[in-house]
């Protein structure tokens, strides 16, 4: 996931040149165009990392499944949960979502996905502020979270939802997985280093530049990510605007009723916020707690392990960070 990416710049040598020279393959098309091979590879890539958002440790999953880590029963329960996660994640792709990715082929010719990002696009004329928390939105963050708008968002509250996009399903294989692929001969050491160090940069740049070539490109991208991740992008020059400072943020009731895995993820919000606010404010919910932190001048946002809403503005500043003239 994005947490581990660091140190590289967003511009530089064209990514397709490096990918070709390292034996990597690339895909970049709407979801409806992608064949079963690519979809299967993407499902295998994203299933476990997204499940780990709800169960970051084996101990956390033990609470859910009731089996001791290392036991055959635990392994079977985890494998079943990963399989369910695979189907759940694949079902969230919209037919018109644009998917870009990096992959490689094993010796037997099968495709292994190494990194991916999708871009969703709003289609409605309603104000984006009215679409927050709306199950009818095509943008995952607007469907999933409730939050407010403010004067520092960088876009007007009445901007049509169709003027927004969202970068989502962002996943990059990390060092242990890449090392295993090197050991089996699927990747060279240079290719693994490229994916680990520049994989996200490539996906972000490709997705952003593709949209810039559209007749009506997005004005901004809404999303949800850990503040630490967004701070990395901001430090590289990307124009990032947090959306939780004006009025906090929380999951919608529909999302909270989405089952055990979702509940386990959002329970972490309460756990993380508990030491930072009074019990009375915590009892009012995560949105009230985040609102109180912002009001009180809290600055350690990057320490919070919560995926909070943000905007990435599509402007000259972000373009310059991506090497655009």
**Model confidence pLDDT, tens digit, residues 52-99:** 999 999 999 999 999 999 999 999 999 999 999 999 999 999 999 999
Q: Which domain holds residue 123?
A: 2-321
Q: Position of tokens 């070709």?
A: 20
54-75 b/e (C-beta count within 10 Å ≥ 16 → b): bbeeeeebbeebebeeeeeebe
Burial class from Cβ neighbours inside 10 Å (0-12, 13-18, 19+) for residue 237 reads: middle
Provide the number of structural domains found in the chain.
1
CATH assignment at residue 305: 3.40.630.30
Other CB atoms closer than 10 Å to residue 2's CB: what's the count? 19
| Total residue length of the chain | 325
The predicted structure's pLDDT at residue 325 = 56
**Structure token pair of residue 139:** 């943008």
Q: Position of tokens 């690339």?
A: 26
Contact 95, 32 (CB under 8 A): yes
175-183 vs 189-212: helix axis angle to the nearest 10? 120
The predicted structure's pLDDT at residue 111 = 95
**Model confidence pLDDT, tens digit, residues 90-100:** 999 999 999 99
Instruction: Compute CA distances 160 → 94, 123, 126, 209, whole Å.
Output: 20, 9, 5, 22
**Model confidence pLDDT, tens digit, residues 151-203:** 999 999 999 999 999 999 999 999 999 999 999 999 999 999 999 999 999 99
The predicted structure's pLDDT at residue 30 = 95
264: confidence class by pLDDT, cuts 50, 70, 90 = confident
For residue 17, pLDDT over 50 is answered with no
**Cβ contacts of residue 275 below 8 Å, gap of 6+?**
none
The predicted structure's pLDDT at residue 318 = 95
d(CA 19, CA 5): 18
Instruction: Compute CA distances 38 → 17, 104, 192, whole Å.
Output: 21, 11, 20
Burial class from Cβ neighbours inside 10 Å (0-12, 13-18, 19+) for residue 271 reads: exposed
């Amino acid at each position: 996931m994005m947490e581990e990416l660091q140190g590289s710049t967003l511009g530089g040598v064209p990514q397709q040149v490096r990918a070709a020279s390292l034996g990597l393959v690339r895909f970049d098309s709407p979801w409806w165009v992608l064949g079963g091979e690519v979809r299967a590879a993407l499902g295998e890539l994203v299933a476990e990392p997204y499940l780990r958002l709800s169960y970051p440790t084996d101990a956390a999953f033990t609470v859910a499944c009731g089996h001791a880590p290392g036991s055959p029963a635990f392994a079977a329960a985890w494998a079943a949960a990963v399989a369910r996660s695979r189907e759940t994640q694949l079902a969230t792709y919209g037919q018109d979502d644009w998917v870009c990715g990096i992959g490689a082929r094993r010796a037997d010719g099968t495709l292994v996905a190494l990194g991916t990002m999708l871009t969703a696009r709003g289609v409605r004329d309603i104000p984006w502020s009215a679409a927050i928390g709306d199950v009818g939105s095509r943008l995952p963050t607007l469907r999933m979270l409730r939050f407010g708008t403010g004067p520092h968002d960088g876009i007007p509250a009445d901007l049509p939802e169709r003027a927004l996009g969202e970068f989502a399903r962002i996943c990059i294989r990390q060092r242990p997985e890449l090392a295993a692929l090197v050991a089996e001969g699927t990747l060279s050491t240079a290719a693994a280093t490229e994916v680990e160090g520049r994989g996200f940069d490539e996906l972000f740049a490709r997705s952003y530049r593709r949209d810039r070539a559209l007749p009506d490109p997005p004005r901004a991208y809404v999303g949800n990510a850990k503040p630490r991740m967004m701070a990395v992008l901001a430090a590289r020059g990307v124009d990032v605007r947090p959306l939780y400072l004006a009025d906090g943020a929380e999951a919608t009731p529909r999302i909270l009723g989405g089952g055990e895995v979702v509940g386990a993820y959002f329970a972490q919000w309460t756990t993380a916020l508990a030491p930072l606010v009074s019990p009375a404010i915590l009892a009012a919910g995560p949105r009230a707690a985040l609102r109180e932190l912002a009001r009180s001048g809290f600055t350690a946002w990057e320490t919070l392990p919560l995926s909070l809403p943000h905007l990435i503005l599509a402007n000259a500043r972000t373009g310059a960070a991506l090497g655009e003239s």
